Amino acid sequence: MVFKHFFSIIFCFSAAYSVAGESVTAFDGAKEMLYDARDKIYNFDKNDSIIEECIARSRTIFSALPEKHDRLFWTAQTEYFEGLYYLKKNSKKNAELHFNKCNAILTQQLKECGENSEAYSLLADSHMQLMLSKGLTYQLLNGQKLKTLPEKALRLDSANIRAYQSLAVYCMNAPEPLGGSIQKAIQILASLTSKDKGEMFKIYYLLGNAYMKIHDSMLASKYLQMALALYPENQWAVADLQTVNSRKKP
């Protein structure tokens, strides 16, 4: 019965899009589906078929949006979340494929539609995921881009939380001569707050990782537990918390 109700909702969203004058309803419905998929990914939901259906349905609606800016941005967003989905499944190759698709779409958007803070911050996010997946070589080849993209986003919108998060990740991973600083990353992250559950999870999770890097087990544990209070089944946070707890043992 739960599955029947869920797919009935999806059908309603798709139907709304096909009715003249209802594109806003469909657009909002597609965003809701996509963020529902994100929440399921962050909480390591085992119902992969639902996640895949949410992403596929939302992509179909986004790809038909009349405004090029919205069409490209939200299609890129689906590629980004699909990348996270494959990270959840421990399929790095597929994850990297979707992050690269996200990058290509956003590059096209910025070229054809002009500068946009959200596009720059999502592009930074996607590059950060590729850096974390590919490691030092990717960081060395794309280091300056990983810093300038969130800075461009913040120049256009100083309240862009996602850009601050990306900048903090850069500070956590870059060498000191190139602007890396764990303390700066902590300062940035500690100043952020959001009404969005997923964004708060990222803030807490990144703070936990930042404190792990300076071996502050108490604060690392605190923020990882706060992240897990939002998504209790998130295996990335669970694994990091286990690492922190193991360090506490004599």
145 pLDDT band (50/70/90 cuts)? confident
| Structure tokens belonging to residue 228 | 């897990």
Is the pLDDT reported for residue 15 higher than 80?
A: no
Is the distance from CB of 146 to CB of 172 less than 8 angstroms? Answer: no
Q: What is the pLDDT of residues 48-61, one digit of tens each?
A: 999 999 999 999 99
Place of tokens 């539609």: 113
Would you call 207 helix, strand, or coil by DSSP? helix
Provide the whole-model pTM.
0.87
At 7 the pLDDT is 39
Domain range summary for the chain, segments of one domain joined by +: 193-250
Is the pLDDT reported for residue 240 higher than 50?
A: yes
| CA neighbor of 81 nearest in space, from 36, 18, 139 | 36
| CA angle in degrees (0–180, nearest 5) for 142-147-149 | 90
Is the distance from CB of 231 to CB of 42 less than 8 angstroms? Answer: yes
Q: Taken in order 208, 213, 214, 217, is the CA torsion positive or negative? A: positive
Q: How far apart are CA 220 and CA 195, in angstroms?
A: 22
